[in-house]
Amino acid sequence: MAMFNFKHSILLPITTLDHFFNSEKSPKDENNRSVFNETLDLERVMKDKAILEEESRRLDEAQERLHLQARMLCGKIMIQEMKKRNGEKRQALDQLQEKVSSLEAQLSPPSMLNTSEY
């Protein structure tokens, strides 16, 4: 079993290790940390902004598609209503035509009428 031999180890002066264990930070370190945190915050804000802009663009596109779809459906409904009204008008016209034909049939033939009265 190997034992650790202190004679062959390199010992660092304790003062060189102080900066690893020292909890006090210099103002320069604090400033660098602050700039780093602000940079990270800015990156997060820019990423959030980009995400929201993309969502806004998608919502605008969806709104435009729905607006066009609503216009198309309104047009189709108008066409259906016009076809229904035109069908009703055709039916009324056909009935009127039948009535005219019936009335004409009730008249005596034109040769039998006394044209001198007119």
**Which tens digits make up the pLDDT trace of 30-86?**
777 887 788 999 999 999 999 999 999 999 999 999 999 999 999 999 999 999 999
Q: How far is CA 62 from the centre of its chain?
A: 2
Q: What is the pTM of this model?
A: 0.49
In a domain, 101, yes or no: no
In a domain, 3, yes or no: no
pLDDT at 1: 46
CA distances from 28 to 15, 17, 25, 32, 65 (A): 20, 19, 8, 6, 55
Number of domains in the chain: 1
75: containing domain: 31-96
pLDDT of 11 above 60 = no
In a domain, 114, yes or no: no
In a domain, 22, yes or no: no
Give the residue-averaged pLDDT of 13-33. 59
Give the residue-averaged pLDDT of 96-111. 87
Q: Which residue has the higher pLDDT, 4 or 84?
A: 84
In a domain, 43, yes or no: yes
In a domain, 77, yes or no: yes
Cα(72)–Cα(64) distance, integer angstroms: 12
pLDDT at 116: 57
Give the residue-averaged pLDDT of 93-118. 80
